[in-house]
Amino acid sequence: MADTQRSTLGPLPFTPKAKTISFALMFIGAVGFAISLMTNAERAWHAYLVAYFYFFLLGIGGLFFAAIQHVSKAGWSVNVRRFCESFTAFLPVAALGAIGVALAGHHLYEWMDKAEVAKDPLLAHKAGYLNTPFFIIRLVVFFGGWLLFTKKMVGGSIMQDKNGDPAITVKTLPWAIGFLLFFAISFSLFSVDLLMSLMPHWFSTIFGIYTFAGLFQSTMATMILLILYCMRRGLLNGYVDENHMHDLGKFMFAFTVFWAYIAYSQYMLIWYANLPEETMFYLPRVTGPWTWVSVALLLFKFVVPFLALLSRRAKRNLNFLATIAILILIMQYVDLYWLVYPNLSSEKVIFGLPEITTWCGFAGVFMFTVGRFLSKYSIVPLKDPRIHESLHHHVVY
């Protein structure tokens, strides 16, 4: 790699075409969501929740990946780290989007209905945690913390681009450690609040880990696609090659296995215990029309990616890696859809324009925020003191 002629680095141009696409997606999303609200508000807000959580996972996943690179003092990832940092540009929008979830919670969460709580002893028992004021307080605390850590870690990385101070790398370490501790608690509770509480009578002690597995898997897939886009435009010559992509592919493969392990552990323990308060989650998902969605998840979020990414050659074939990354991102949506929509209707699989247009709207916002971030800052942190390790990265296994 040292002999490869390096491209002149700078920000990634946010072209007029890319801006037009992002604005068009946002317009489609806004119109589609407005029409959905007028025709079926419950379905509209379920579509909103799935799309919102999908892109929130990418935003917080980018911050998580950056944090583990700082904590492990990794050098190989320096030249790809700016891409995961760019995902955090969506987090302020996600904070605003959480307001929508809170305001429309009565369309999603039965525990927000005081009449339902009054006549249900179990909901009344959980009311100390599942109540609207405390729910809003948790959202404020979580996003306040996540945005603070974003400012300290990503802001420090950007500042280092300007002044080249190696001390910033050292100062970032305790912030990264603090974030991982805060993330472990806050993300688990956030997943419980927004997704698991859709069925407040059901509970799983590893639900947060399940959603985390999807977070990391989809974050790796998105990073791979964005980096390949830049590589094909010749923007990363001499900085990123198949060795970096191989390692990102290994991460994606590892969390394909991890997702399956957590999904199986959750299902197997509930199936074996056969307790009504636990099986209520799986019964509508393994009987009737939702059975096929469950089978599709098993096949296309685990079996196919697992077999496809098993060999070393597959993780170094960039076109093949991109294809599997796209499949994983599709199945990540299916996974979240599978978590949310049986609560709306267990009798039939509901999917159509409301779900597609709402996802497009959030995709447009994500594309715009990430594109604007990368258009402002160098796509590689050139003054990071560990960049020499990334420039001479070779994978031999």
**What is d(CA 137, CA 135) in angstroms, rounded to the nearest whole number?**
5
pLDDT digits (tens, 9 = 90+) for 314-353: 999 999 999 999 999 999 999 999 999 999 998 899 999 9
Mind listing the pLDDT tens digit for each residue in 13-45? 999 999 999 999 999 999 999 999 999 999 999
Q: Is 126 exposed, middle or buried (0-12, 13-18, 19+ CB in 10 A)?
A: middle
Question: Which residue type sits at 22?
Answer: S
Average pLDDT of span 162-181:
96
Specify whether the backbone of 73 is left (phi greater than 0), alpha (psi in -120 to 50) or beta.
Answer: left
Q: Please, which pLDDT band fits residue 7 given cuts at 50, 70 and 90?
A: low
pLDDT at 4: 54
Contact 80, 223 (CB under 8 A): yes
Q: What does the pLDDT read at residue 2?
A: 44
The answer to whether residue 203 scores a pLDDT higher than 60 is yes
Mean pLDDT to the nearest integer, 259-284: 94
pLDDT reported for residue 397: 73
Q: Is residue 1 over pLDDT 60? A: no
Q: Where are the alpha helices (DSSP H) in the chain?
A: 16-39, 41-71, 78-87, 91-103, 114-119, 121-125, 132-163, 167-194, 207-232, 242-273, 276-286, 290-297, 304-308, 312-316, 318-340, 353-376, 387-391
Categorize the per-residue pLDDT at 313 as very low, low, confident or very high, splitting at 50, 70 and 90: very high
The conformational region for residue 86 under phi > 0 = left, psi -120 to 50 = alpha, else beta, is: alpha
Tell me the average pLDDT across 52-80.
97
Predicted TM-score (pTM) of this structure = 0.96
Is residue 396 very low, low, confident or very high in pLDDT (cuts 50, 70, 90)? confident
d(CA 120, CA 278): 17
In the predicted model, what is the mean pLDDT of residues 39-65? 97
395: left (phi over 0), alpha (psi -120 to 50) or beta: beta
Q: Looking at the predicted structure, is the pLDDT value of residue 3 above 80?
A: no
Residue 344 dihedral angles phi and psi, to the nearest 5°: -85, -45
Contact partners, residue 62, CB within 8 Å, separation at least 6: 83, 84, 85, 86, 87, 88, 219, 223
Closest CA to 286 of 344, 338, 340: 338
Rounded to an integer, what distance in angstroms lies between the CA atom of residue 72 and that of residue 242? Answer: 22
Please report the sign of the dihedral spanned by the C-alpha atoms of residue 121, residue 122, residue 125, residue 131.
negative
Q: What average pLDDT does the chain have?
A: 95
Side-chain-side CA neighbours of residue 223 (13 Å): 37
d(CA 70, CA 269): 36
Percent of the chain having pLDDT more than 90? 94
Does residue 10 have a pLDDT over 90? no
State both tokens at 258.
């991890």
